[in-house]
Amino acid sequence: MDRSIVVTGGSLGIGRATVEAFLAEGDRVVFTARGEAEAKKFLGERSEDVQKGRLFFLRSDASVANDAEKLAAFTKEKLGGCDVLINNAAVFIGGLLHQNSEEDFEKLFGINVRGPFLTSKAFLPMMLERKKGHIIMIASLAGMGGGYGMTLYCMTKAAVINMARAMALDYMQYGIRVNAVSPSATETAMFLGGNSKETIDAFRGQNPAHVLGKPEDIANALVSIADEKNIYINGQNIAVDGGLSAWNGEYNQSREPGQAYRE
Ligand SMILES: NC(=O)c1ccc[n+]([C@@H]2O[C@H](COP(=O)([O-])OP(=O)(O)OC[C@H]3O[C@@H](n4cnc5c(N)ncnc54)[C@H](OP(=O)(O)O)[C@@H]3O)[C@@H](O)[C@H]2O)c1
């Protein structure tokens, strides 16, 4: 489609799958990360896209204002503007609230909330100029309801869901829509790296789909929502979770073990 797409935190996991999904649509993509190692590996695998001027990487920390401004300028130079900005970069720190430090708070809010604020703020002027654009926050089921052992993370994800709603009201009149997408547990380093096999199996078993999300599941949803045919979807938080958020949380009386619909 030759749109200009920006994905923060695109070197791994959901961000990386998102970069690949938009490349497959024929779009041009800029992605960021703080570290260079994974990004360079990724660029090596997509060298054809790099050579054709379809894929660009900028080392950038979403929580740093100057980095956000540099990213906006870099995007304008390389892609000429931004049709879709995906605020994906985030970190996870768990724990009970009384065990969390102020540093945990600052880090989580610095990246997960200040990041989308600074990045959106840096990109809005060029979107306003063109009267066109779409900003998508990658939130989480953890922002839609309380999650055990992760109060601070839940707080940050709830913040970006409501950020999308409030911004949507202000900017639709300028042709800019804002949405949030909320994955449930997804097979990435963030989830798999931080949990035991028992916990991962329990998450899988509890999902009505009896499988975890794959990064591509989230990326495919993003491609659909980003389609300009769907311009009337605005200010929404769209759960991509196999149906988990449809559950009221009460005990499964049928006691049917259930089975996965795919590997
Ligand atoms: N995985 C899940 O189960 C799950 C569930 C719900 C929601 N989510 C959300 O989905 C998004 C992606 O998560 P993921 O699981 O794909 O995470 P991941 O595997 O940990 O990958 C995170 C990516 O973001 C980058 N990143 C982290 N902090 C950054 C910063 N300050 N500035 C720029 N880039 C940064 C990382 O690279 P560097 O470390 O090199 O910067 C990496 O490329 C996040 O918003 C997460 O909260 C994930």
Ligand 1: nearest atom to the Cα of 87: 45
In the chain, what are the domain boundaries? 4-246
CA of 9 to the centre of ligand 1 (A): 6
Overall average pLDDT of the 64-83 stretch: 98
- Residue 209's nearest CA partner among 239, 189, 238 is 239
Q: Are 80 and 130 in contact (CB under 8 A)?
A: no
> Is 148 among the residues known to form the active site?
no
Please check the confidence at residue 257 and state whether its pLDDT lies above 80. no
Angle ∠(78,79,84) on CA atoms, nearest 5: 135
Mind listing the pLDDT tens digit for each residue in 175-211? 999 999 999 999 999 999 999 999 999 999 999 999 9
pLDDT for position 66: 98
pLDDT for position 108: 98
pLDDT for position 90: 98
Q: Candidates 6, 8, 12, 192: which one to mutate for ligand 1, based on the most atoms within 8 Å of Cβ? A: 12
Distance between start and end Cα atoms, the chain:
31
Ligand 1: nearest atom to the Cα of 89: 24
Please check the confidence at residue 252 and state whether its pLDDT lies above 80. yes
- Residue 166, exposed/middle/buried by CB under 10 A (0-12, 13-18, 19+)? exposed
Alpha carbons within 13 angstroms on the beta-carbon side of residue 56 total: 20
Please check the confidence at residue 255 and state whether its pLDDT lies above 90. no
What is the C-alpha separation between 130 and 83, in angstroms, rounded?
10
Q: Candidates 63, 106, 155, 188: which one to mutate for ligand 1, based on the most atoms within 8 Å of Cβ? A: 188
- Residue 213's nearest CA partner among 235, 237, 245, 236 is 245
| Packing angle, helices 151-171 and 102-112, rounded to 10 | 30
**Cβ atoms within 10 Å, residue 189:** 10
Overall average pLDDT of the 139-146 stretch: 98
Distance of CA 235 to the CA centre of its chain: 15
Please check the confidence at residue 263 and state whether its pLDDT lies above 90. no
Ligand 1: nearest atom to the Cα of 16: 43
Give me the catalytic one of 153, 174, 251, 261: 153
Pick the CATH number of 4-246 from 3.30.465.10, 3.40.50.720, 3.40.630.10, 3.10.180.10: 3.40.50.720
